Structure 1
Amino acid sequence: MIQIRDTILSDDIFEEHFICHLTKCKGACCVEGDSGAPLEQEEFEQIQSILPEIWNDLSPKAQALIEEQGIAYTDYDGELVTSIINGRECVFTYFDADGTCKCSIEKACREGRIQVQKPISCHLYPIRLQKLSEFTAVNYNRWSICKP
């Protein structure tokens, strides 16, 4: 472990070689897992504010779930995370022509329709940030779907 001020970095971050191979995994991290993508409170508020701009990009199931429970919930670890459909994909996902799962927030941002980007936890994955009382832990999340 390496500590820089109030941040502790796992050795794995420096020792493991990892990269997102979207063409291989087809966005599995947006579909698989126990809960949605972790959100900071500021991200939650930003996504709430741009929801009307991306509403038509969302699937009917995502729209219904958001109307019922909102864009996020607190998971079993006490983290605020994006809502997920049937215990699987994030409500902000869509599937492109080749079946790759992608983010409707990121799509709208790239198209210039919004200024908000997808959550930082999605950008960093498979790196995960965990805020603890005294510091932030930065860990490499080992998951078979991310193997090249």
Structure 2
Amino acid sequence: MIVIDQVLISDEVVDEHFVCDLSKCKGGCCEDGDAGAPLETQELDQLIAVYDAVLPYMTPEGIKETERQGKYIYDREFGWVTPTIKGEMCAYGYRDETGTVKCAIEKAYLEGKIEWKKPISCHLFPIRIQRSKQDPDMEYVNYEPREDLCKAACKLGKRLKVPAYVFLKEAIIRKYGEEFYDTLDQTAKHIKDSQ
């Protein structure tokens, strides 16, 4: 366990290797789960603010579900999440010409229409963040790839020798800042050197 400020990071985040292999998984994390993508409280307003710009990139089914369920919904187990289409694909997802599920929010971002890339939970995957029930300022950062779905990503990460935290550098910096990432990187290298 690595502790930086009020953040407890599991050893797997630095020990395990991971590089998304979309050609194999086809973006399955956007449609395989018990709920939509988890949203942080401040992301609720962001989602409302960008919705009109994201709309042209969404599927008719996704639009229908956001109109029916709302732009976000509350799930008893996961808190605020994106709605899904028939309990499967995220309402903000669409399939490209290869059948890979991609994010309409991210597409709008990449085309310069909005400044918010996508929910941080999606950007950080397969890292999951949980708040402590005893201390709301404390967060647990865990490495939780899907066993079958992420098999190819774990294999590719191992082959390329890319630790999960390195693959997720941009997302970790977006969530916690440069200084946090630098501390995590230095700690990970120190641990590796001392083994």
Deviation at 1:8, TM superposition (A): 0.7
Deviation at 1:12, TM superposition (A): 1.2
The question of 1:139 aligning with 2:142 is answered yes
Partner of 2:86: 86
Partner of 2:98: 98
Identify, as 1 or 2, the structure richer in strand. Answer: 1
Deviation at 1:38, TM superposition (A): 0.9
| Count of residues paired in the alignment | 148
Deviation at 1:102, TM superposition (A): 0.2
When normalised by structure 1's length, the TM-score is 0.94
2:86 is paired with a residue whose SS is helix
Deviation at 1:78, TM superposition (A): 4.4
Partner of 1:108: 108
In 2, Cα distance between the equivalents of 1:73 and 1:110? Answer: 25
Report the more deviating stretch, 48-57 or 102-111.
48-57
1:3 is paired with a residue whose SS is strand
| Identity %, equivalent residues | 43
C-alpha RMSD of the superposition: 1.2
Identify, as 1 or 2, the structure richer in helix. Answer: 2
Deviation at 1:142, TM superposition (A): 3.1
In 1, Cα distance between the equivalents of 2:62 and 2:145? Answer: 28
1:145 is paired with a residue whose SS is coil
When normalised by structure 2's length, the TM-score is 0.72
Partner of 1:53: 53
The question of 1:62 aligning with 2:62 is answered yes
2:36 is paired with a residue whose SS is coil
Deviation at 1:129, TM superposition (A): 0.8
* 1:32-47 equivalences in 2 (<5 Å): 32-47=32-47
In 2, Cα distance between the equivalents of 1:78 and 1:36? Answer: 9
The aligned amino acid for 1:106 is E
In 2, Cα distance between the equivalents of 1:119 and 1:43? Answer: 7
Extract unaligned runs of 5+ from structure 1.
none
Deviation at 1:20, TM superposition (A): 1.1
In 2, Cα distance between the equivalents of 1:5 and 1:53? Answer: 36
Larger radius of gyration: 2
In 1, Cα distance between the equivalents of 2:55 and 2:24? Answer: 28
In 2, Cα distance between the equivalents of 1:75 and 1:141? Answer: 20
The aligned amino acid for 2:143 is Y
Partner of 1:76: 76
Following TM superposition, the consecutive aligned residue runs of length 4 or more in structure 1 with deviations greater than 6 angstroms are: none
The aligned amino acid for 2:68 is E
